Structure formats: C-alpha cells, structure tokens
Amino acid sequence: MAKERALLGLALIFMVLGNAGVWFPPAWLLAPAYAPALALAVTLLTGAAGVLLVTRDWLHAWLVGVRFPDLRTNWRLQKILAGVTAGSPLEGRVVAWVEPRWRMNAGVLGSRSIAVAPALMQLENGELAAVLAHEFGHLIRPWELVVKGFVMGVSKSGKVAAALLAEVTVIAGAYFARSLYWDQVARWITRSLLLWALFVVPSLALAELLWRAWWRKGEYHADAFVARLGLGAELAAVLPKLDRINGRPAKRTSLFDSHPATFERVERLRSLSGGVAAGAGEPESRA
C-alpha cells in the first residue's frame, strides 16, 4: 500500500503542476503578478469540480446520458447486486443504469451507481454477477472514485486551457504581426512554447504514466474482491469473452493502458480462486 500511495502522490503532483503550467500563459495575460497562484487555483478548483461530479450520481448519470433499465432488466440486476453487496454498507443502495452506447462493458458511474451495456444481459447469471462484483469492488474503495474525479476534472481543464492558449496565440500573432507590440507578443508566445516543451508536456506524460499504473493496481484489488466472493472462476472465464467482443488485445500493448493485460488478470484470478477452493481463507490481492 505504501508503494501505491507513493505512486498516486507523484502522479497527482505532476498532474497538478503540468496542468497549472497549461493555465499559466492565459493567467499571465490576465494578471502577470498573480499568474502562478491563479493557474494553480484554477487547476485545483476544476479538480474539485470533477470530484463533485462523480460523487453526485444523478448529475453524473444525466451528463453521461445513461438511462434507467426496463423493469425486467432492473429486477435481474438488482437481484444479482443484492447477493454481491450483502453485508456491506452499500447493501441495497447500489443503482444500476444502462449505457446503450457500450458494446459489451460495465463501469462505475458514481459513488453508488454501476452502468452496464445492454449486451451484458446475454451473460449467464454467474458471469454477470462476476462482472458486477468487479465494479462493486471499485465502489467499496470510495477514495478511488474521488481520485478519479479529481484527475478527470484537472485533465478536462487542461484541455480547455490548451485550446484557449492555441486560439490566443493564433489571434495574437495575426493581430499584432505588424504592430508596435509585436516584440512583446512574440516573447509571450516563445516563452509559452518553451514552457510547454520543457515542463508541461514532460510533466503530463509522466503523470499519465504514473496514474495509469496506479489504476491498474486498482483493477487487481477489484478482481481480488470478486475472488473473495467466490466468483473468481466466473470472472476469469468471462474476461477473454469480453475482450473478443470489444476487440481488445489480450496482452497489454501500452504503458498508458488503464487495465492490466487480461491474461495476467486471469492467472491471478485462477490463483486466488484456487486458494478459496482449497479453504485457504480470504485471498489477498497481489497488486
């Protein structure tokens, strides 16, 4: 856990600093003396807005565009969730939504919500329970959701700032090209580009690498929760099936992948499930 905290801490530091660097040139135009503080404040505020979004399920559901399942689908999902959540603080409080744009997937939508693709209803009850249990394994780690919301908010704000900076640069270059202020504008553009090349891009790239590595460990924790429920074998069986339908490779192809390689997850699940079957007690995640 100490390594995971260190990994997450470094990811958040580089992410905040990198996105504050994105906001610095526009902030300098507004208030040169307070540009660093203003850029940092905007970054942190947008991160807080992201946390608010993902922890308010109804708001998140409305913005994402999911819909409430029909009565038959909801009855089946709630029946399975009742078994998955039994004995937890969230027992009977998890809401299921349907995301019609997904091919064959499921995901956490908020602090008490799970969204599923309609095609998942074709799975057998054991396989569907394993998928829902994996998502619930994320819900029982609420701070994981808070971190995800913060990262989402900061990243979105950085994209807005980048677009704003590009527009301002083009407009300023065109407008001041023949004016007396061109030297000042040229220096601002040059310094902004240097800031991006030497600080912003490396910081954000490193932050993304660290963040993705931390999130992959969270996937292992969720898989371990599934194994503790006795559904590890079912999840190990359904993961390759989901990959085939969704067209995802079984092996991880990039350090920026948010999920571990499926074959690695399957091997861990089989190991953990074997421990349960052998009466070895609750298995611990090796992530």
pLDDT along the chain (287 residues), means of 10: 85 91 83 90 92 81 85 95 93 91 87 92 94 94 87 83 69 59 72 84 90 91 94 93 79 77 90 57 37
Give dist(CA 263, CA 240) in Å, integer. Answer: 8
Residue 68 corresponds to which tokens in the numbers above?
Answer: 């409430």
Backbone angles phi, psi at 242, to 5 degrees: -65, -40
pTM of the model: 0.81
pLDDT (0 to 100) of residue 282 = 39
pLDDT (0 to 100) of residue 287 = 37
Domain range summary for the chain, segments of one domain joined by +: 1-63+144-287
Going by DSSP bridges, is the β-strand pair 113-116/106-108 parallel, antiparallel, or unpaired?
antiparallel
pLDDT (0 to 100) of residue 280 = 34
